[in-house]
C-alpha cells in the first residue's frame, strides 16, 4: 500500500496529499475564473446600457431632449399670426426706444458730472438720476444743442 502513496508523492512533486485530491487544480481554475469576472461584468453592463439606449431611442424617449420646446405653446408647425407678429415687433421696438433714451439720459448726466469733477466745481453741481428716471435740472456744464435740451426737458421734474 505504501508503494502507491510513494508513487503519488513523487508525481505531486514531493507534496503530501492532504485528503483532498485535486484541490490545487480547483484553486487554480477558480483563480482563472476570478480573473475574468470583472471584465465580463463590465462588458455585460455596457452592452445592457447600449441596448436600453437603443430601445429608448427607437421609442422616442429622447425626442424631448433634442427638439425645442416652446414656452408659449406654439408648435414648430404652427405659424405666428401676422397680428401677433406685428404686436411683438411693436413691443420690442418700444422697449428698444426706451432703452436708447435711458442710455442717452445717463450719458449726458455722466458727461456733466465728469465736467463738474474735472474742473473742480462744488459737489452741489452734480445731477443725480431719481428712481423714477427724472432729474432735478438741465445740465449746464456741457454743451447741448436745442434737440438735446428738448429731450432733457421731458425728464426734468420741477
The domain spans of the chain are: 2-63, 82-153
The residue with cell 421696438 is: 93
Region of 122 please: left (phi>0), alpha (psi -120 to 50) or beta: beta
For the chain, give the mean pLDDT: 81
Q: How confident is the model at residue 71 (pLDDT cuts 50, 70, 90)?
A: low
pLDDT tens readout for residues 12-48? 776 655 565 555 555 555 666 677 788 888 899 999 9
Q: How confident is the model at residue 158 (pLDDT cuts 50, 70, 90)?
A: confident
Whether 2 shows a pLDDT value over 70: the answer reads no
Q: Which helix (H) or strand (E) holds 7?
A: helix 2-11
Q: What are 153's three cell numbers? A: 426737458
pLDDT of residue 38: 84
- Of 132 and 81, the one with more pLDDT: 132
Q: How confident is the model at residue 106 (pLDDT cuts 50, 70, 90)?
A: very high
pLDDT tens readout for residues 118-157? 999 999 999 999 999 999 999 999 999 999 999 999 999 8
> In whole angstroms, what is the distance from residue 34 CA to residue 38 CA?
8
Q: How confident is the model at residue 78 (pLDDT cuts 50, 70, 90)?
A: low
pLDDT tens readout for residues 89-105? 899 999 999 999 999 99
Q: Are 97 and 79 in contact (CB under 8 A)?
A: no
Among the residues of 16-81, which ranges form H helices? 23-59, 63-66
Amino acid at each position: 500500500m505504501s508503494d502507491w502513496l510513494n508513487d503519488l508523492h513523487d508525481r505531486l512533486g514531493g507534496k503530501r496529499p492532504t485528503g483532498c485530491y485535486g484541490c490545487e487544480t480547483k484553486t487554480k481554475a477558480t483563480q482563472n475564473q476570478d480573473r475574468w469576472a470583472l471584465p465580463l461584468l463590465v462588458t455585460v453592463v455596457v452592452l445592457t446600457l447600449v441596448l436600453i439606449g437603443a430601445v429608448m431611442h427607437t421609442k422616442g424617449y429622447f425626442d424631448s431632449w433634442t427638439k425645442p420646446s416652446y414656452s408659449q405653446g406654439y408648435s414648430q408647425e404652427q405659424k405666428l399670426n401676422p397680428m401677433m407678429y406685428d404686436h411683438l415687433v411693436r413691443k420690442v421696438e418700444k422697449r428698444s426706444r426706451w432703452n436708447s433714451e435711458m442710455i442717452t439720459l445717463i450719458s449726458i448726466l455722466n458727461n456733466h458730472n465728469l465736467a463738474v469733477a474735472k474742473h473742480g466745481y462744488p459737489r452741489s453741481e452734480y445731477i443725480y438720476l431719481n428712481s423714477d428716471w427724472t432729474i432735478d435740472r438741465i445740465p449746464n456744464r456741457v454743451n447741448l444743442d436745442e434737440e438735446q435740451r428738448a429731450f432733457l426737458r421731458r425728464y426734468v421734474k420741477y
